[in-house]
Amino acid sequence: MNTQTAAAGWRGDLRRLSRSASFDIGVVIVLFWVACALFGPHLVPYDPFADDLLNSLMPPSFAHWFGTDQLGRDVFSRVIVGARDILTVAPIATVLSTILGTALGLTMGYFGGVIDEALSRIVDAVLALPTVIVALLALTALGTSNITVMVVIAFSFAPVIARTVRSAVLAERGFDYVAAAELRRENTFYILFIEILPNVLPPILVEATVRLGYAIFTVATLSFIGFGIQPPSPDWGLSISSNYGLIGGGFWWTVVFDGAAIASLIIGINLIADGIEGLRHD
């Protein structure tokens, strides 16, 4: 297997992917939210933080498409800009966990033996606890901040990625190119990251996409229970958490649009992950 054929394979994959409707929908949704996160503050009709106390809790209208919240802030602007924090925290957490997990998985798969055994035990231990619970424990101990949230998610997702990478590496381990590199007395770092890594990249990417979906889910959940993104961010989970007592009084617009935003983003990412995964099974 060399990089050229791999690249050609990738191009073919992409072409096949773009023929899948659900994959396309996923890409459109995710790109929309990424654009909102990047350029949102310049696109929205109102400053998402500007209060207008005398026009609070107005139902959706032409002036305010999604109505206004308790402080008279424009819900539409807040939903758009609300993409920013979650799309910063979750992807960074995912990248961190992928790096960590890949390094761990390469080490476990390549060396095997005692190292693999020991690391596998740790991985199993981490996997025995739900991320939300681990996060609660860690955030209680370390205090809440976006950075702690990222680190906690990175650590609790890394084992899953490590497992995937490990099994991929075990398969690669037997190939001649690895043996050849060993014969050339390349150093271990070179063998792991320059020789093996490019060949196990596809499963890593799939796993990372799936993890990104989970990361968004986790960050939103943590924000909802008060341990994630902190006010005054217009974050979706946070807005829902501070407004859901209002829905019984008829102010549904303070919650429903944020809910739809979270749901659409997570569904979008999972449609993409699903598309890529389906490809690998074909």
Which residues contact other proteins (rule: CB under 8 A)? 22, 49-51, 53-54, 56-57, 70-72, 125, 127-133, 136-137, 139-144, 213, 217, 220-221, 224-227, 230-232, 237, 240-241, 244-252, 255, 259, 262-263, 266-267, 270-271, 274
**What is the closest distance, in whole angstroms, from the C-beta atom of residue 107 to other proteins in the complex?**
24
Q: What angle do CA 267, 273, 279 make, to 5 degrees?
A: 135
Q: Which is nearer to other proteins, 192 or 261 (CB)?
A: 261
**What is the closest distance, in whole angstroms, from the C-beta atom of residue 74 to other proteins in the complex?**
14
**What is the closest distance, in whole angstroms, from the C-beta atom of residue 57 to other proteins in the complex?**
7
Q: Which is nearer to other proteins, 103 or 267 (CB)?
A: 267
**What is the closest distance, in whole angstroms, from the C-beta atom of residue 17 to other proteins in the complex?**
16
* Cα 210 to the center of its chain, rounded Å: 7
CA distances from 67 to 59, 208, 239 (A): 4, 36, 14
Q: Which is nearer to other proteins, 34 or 126 (CB)?
A: 126
Q: Which is nearer to other proteins, 205 or 267 (CB)?
A: 267
Q: Which is nearer to other proteins, 174 or 249 (CB)?
A: 249
Distance CA(50)–CA(232), nearest Å, equals: 11
Distance CA(136)–CA(261), nearest Å, equals: 24
Distance CA(127)–CA(147), nearest Å, equals: 22
Distance CA(231)–CA(48), nearest Å, equals: 13
**What is the closest distance, in whole angstroms, from the C-beta atom of residue 27 to other proteins in the complex?**
15
> CA nearest 138: which of 152, 119, 153?
152
DSSP state of 196: I
